[in-house]
Chains A and B, each alone.
Chain A
Amino acid sequence: MRRVIYFVLALVIWILLTWPFVEGHLDGQVFLAGIVAAAVVAVLFQDVLPPEHHVFRSPKRIVWFVLYVPVFFYYVLVANLDVVYRALHPKMPIRPGIVKIKTSLTSESAITALANSITLTPGTLTVDLTDDGTLYVHWINVRSDDVDEATRMIARRFEYFLERIFEEP
């Protein structure tokens, strides 16, 4: 069943990417190639993507996801201005280091989303994570190397949303 879902998903993405410019005309060869590619993807990656479909079944989670998108983009923008400032400043005001943070999230997708969000947002880059929810984060401007303090500064703002999207029954 999961294979079928991935096949359809991959085919939809393929069609979106190869949609012909002449409207209403779909190139048969391209479509055939898409079916082959989608089938290969579905067979190869059926076990790679996390099996957490419940996220897409509950409207409440989707609403939280939609709310998360603008928040996320706001932090991405702030992150960029911050990095641009540090890169262009003649004295280059950086104070880098690797700190440790602990997350309360448990599901695999939630931790993946958290790690990627951290990487894209202000001055932080996830270096590694362990099974018990510890993340090692490279911070361009270390403000606290205490585990709890750093967690509060880096991860709390995302955990609030990710918990509601991926966890909480």
Chain B
Amino acid sequence: MSEVIGYILITIGVLFDLFGCIGLVRFPDIYNRLQASTKCVTLGTILLLAGVAAASGQGAIIAKALVCAVFILITSPTGAHAIARGAYASGVPLWEGSVVDRYGADGHGASPAPEKHPCES
């Protein structure tokens, strides 16, 4: 029984991963693509882990799946945040259909010439 539940969870997880990748291809700019990849891939991978844990039913594997799930939940949004911020700072523009950009309006983003490269000095 738990094996059946496990395989159902794995199937749903793989589907979410697939939809995330479709979004990654279809969305117009890096910020929208990050939305698709972080959300869907996070949930998809966690469902995969839950499915593996349920299908195996072994304490050792459940513990591993749990640790990995927590790790993904913490690192995936942090990584997306770092990529988005890095992209904006290096001047990647928003899609032309974007309706508002409060971040740029407040003077963030690519400055014409950085004062000094961090590797120098």
Give the B-binding residues of A (Cβ under 8 A): 13, 16-17, 19-21, 23, 76-77, 79-80, 83-84, 86-88, 92, 94-100, 115-117, 119-120, 123-128, 136, 138, 140, 142, 145
Contacts and interface: CB of A to CB of B under 8 A. Distances in A.
Nearest to B100: A97
A120 B103 contact: no
State the main secondary structure of chain A at its contact with B.
Answer: mixed
Contacts of A120: 38-39, 42, 73, 76-77
- Most chain A beta-carbon contacts within 10 A, residue among B16, B20, B85, B102: B102
Interface of B: 16, 19-20, 22-23, 26-29, 31-32, 34-36, 38-40, 42-43, 58, 60, 63-64, 66-67, 73-74, 76-78, 80-81, 84-85, 88, 94-95, 97-104, 106, 108
A119 B40 CA distance: 12
Contacts of A23: 60
B81 A119 contact: yes
Interface centre among A19, A92, A115, A128 (most CB of B within 10 A): A128
A128 B108 CA distance: 10
A155 B101 CA distance: 18
Q: Nearest 5 A-B pairs (CB), nearest first?
A: A87-B23, A119-B77, A97-B100, A100-B102, A116-B77
A135 to B, nearest CB: 10
Given A16-B67, A99-B102, A120-B38, 16 more contacts: A16-B66, A17-B64, A20-B60, A83-B23, A86-B23, A87-B36, A98-B94, A100-B103, A100-B106, A116-B74, A119-B38, A127-B81, A127-B88, A140-B32, A140-B35, A142-B100
Contacts of B58: 21
Contacts of B80: 119, 125
Given A97-B101, A115-B81, A80 B39 contact: yes
Nearest to B22: A87
12 contacts: A13-B67, A76-B39, A80-B40, A83-B39, A84-B19, A92-B27, A96-B99, A98-B101, A125-B35, A125-B81, A127-B31, A136-B102
